Chains A and B, each alone.
Chain A
């Protein structure tokens, strides 16, 4: 199994009026197939930009992004992207929202059953007819996960998906995400600013520097799942990552 995603000295700048803002500089990274990778970094360092580069929503200003050897193209690759913001279509009910991705990627015949199957996988059986404004933030995230998983994605990209949720819901969804991941064994890129979350979820953690972002450190987390948050190795991993981040923040 070769690397699924490769970034070769990627740079990204944005123009804002007369100024150019350099968000990412000379960032190299490779992610193996089936890995659960977390990306952490100081807030505003360009994590979301990195994710958009990986799924082809943005093009790099310099360097190369390769997914299975080619530049990412959502029309060819299948991505399952979970956004930080609420990305459900408010005019569609829960079931129709899960069907949205399938309508694009599949022929229309079997999508109803598939959508129902993935809804029950995320524990939302019985909520098919509800509209997004009638369900909680945690349930909306579950619908988004079901929608992304239903298209059988090659890669799952998650941009601080649980950041807006309360601590309890966040921990429940983290456990459910791990269950789904171990069942389907997909490559997951999970962006977060929450170190605890990263150590709980990831096989590998990429720490980014402050803007312009590049890789500060890559930490392999050699802990068995499910991980205990209070165990000494868990805490020492946390301290290590926090230490890296602290250097970046004080360097501001």
Chain B
């Protein structure tokens, strides 16, 4: 029963994808413009860039790998800073009230606004890592704080009656109970970081990266490669999101909601 449902929804999804590609191709044929290539031209561009590389010789996979590497590095730093800070801020309301006047306004500066500063002050990989960090940091931080605050008082009391010290309570009660929120923070953070990298690469100097690929071919008015870059970004974002989601499902078997 469950399997049949899944197969059915998969089939339905595939069908709507085919319809979408068909309509897109139809639109391209009807407009007959070099600036709106259809899916077929994008597919040929895919094979061309994947094998022969772009005008500078970089293949699609090296563009993608470079972008993924930058994002994962920045994401790693964001997790390493935001999770401990979030636990600390969630546990100590006094820390929260000291730090929120600084953090709250910064949170509303879009990562893209940091790009000029990053370009001037930082160089090489640090520039990208910084921008990803800015983008991924706040979703992770805020979710971690929320998760920590939601820790059940009964569980903390229970641990105390066994003589648990605050270290044990933090690591064995607070952190595991906040983990679902931390993970959804990581998922959102990775998504935001992935979107920032593309913007950063468009402006940053390196000739490699998916954002750079788009800009290079936009300047040449070769929209098939531009769309190829866009589609690649979308698909990789989807895969990254799915990777975290499936980790969540595996980790949180104990949560009834996630299994649905």
Contacts and interface: CB of A to CB of B under 8 A. Distances in A.
Contacts of A83: 154, 157-158
A92 B155 CA distance: 13
A104 B162 contact: yes
A74 B161 contact: yes
Contacts of B165: 75
A87 B254 contact: no
A76 B157 CA distance: 16
Contacts of A73: 163
A104 B163 contact: yes
Interface of A: 52, 55, 57, 73-76, 78-81, 83, 85-87, 89-92, 100-101, 103-105, 131-133, 151, 157
B60 to A, nearest CB: 41
A59 B254 CA distance: 35
Interface string B154-177: 110111111111001000110011
B92 interface: no
Contact of A85 (B154, B159, B161): B154
A85 B155 CA distance: 9
A52 B101 CA distance: 37
B72 to A, nearest CB: 27
A133 B160 contact: no
B254 A74 contact: no
A103 B159 CA distance: 11
A155 to B, nearest CB: 10
| Dominant secondary structure of chain B at its interface with chain A | helix
A151 B162 contact: yes
Nearest to B176: A91
B161 A81 contact: yes
| Top-6 shortest CB links A-B | A81-B161, A74-B163, A75-B163, A87-B158, A101-B162, A104-B162
Nearest to A58: B157
Given A55-B161, A74-B160, A90 B172 contact: no
B8 interface: no
Contacts of B160: 57, 74
A76 to B, nearest CB: 8
Nearest to B165: A75
A157 B158 CA distance: 12
Contacts of A87: 154-155, 157-158
User: Which DSSP category, helix, strand, loop or mixed, fits chain A's interface?
Assistant: loop
B150 interface: no
A192 to B, nearest CB: 18
Contacts of B163: 73-76, 78, 104-105
A86 B158 CA distance: 10
A104 B256 contact: no
B157 A57 contact: yes
B254 A132 contact: yes
B48 interface: no
A131 B162 contact: no
A50 to B, nearest CB: 14
Contacts of A101: 162
B168 A89 contact: no
A80 B162 CA distance: 7
B255 interface: yes
Contacts of B158: 81, 83, 87
A90 to B, nearest CB: 5
A85 B153 CA distance: 10
B165 to A, nearest CB: 8
B253 A131 contact: yes
A93 to B, nearest CB: 8
A133 B155 CA distance: 16
Contacts of A89: 155, 173, 176-177
A105 B155 contact: no
A84 B204 CA distance: 59
Nearest to A85: B154
A50 B256 CA distance: 35
A143 to B, nearest CB: 12
A131 B252 CA distance: 11
A164 to B, nearest CB: 13
A150 to B, nearest CB: 10
A197 to B, nearest CB: 21
The listed residue with most A CB atoms (<10 A of its CB), out of B158, B159, B177, B256, is B158
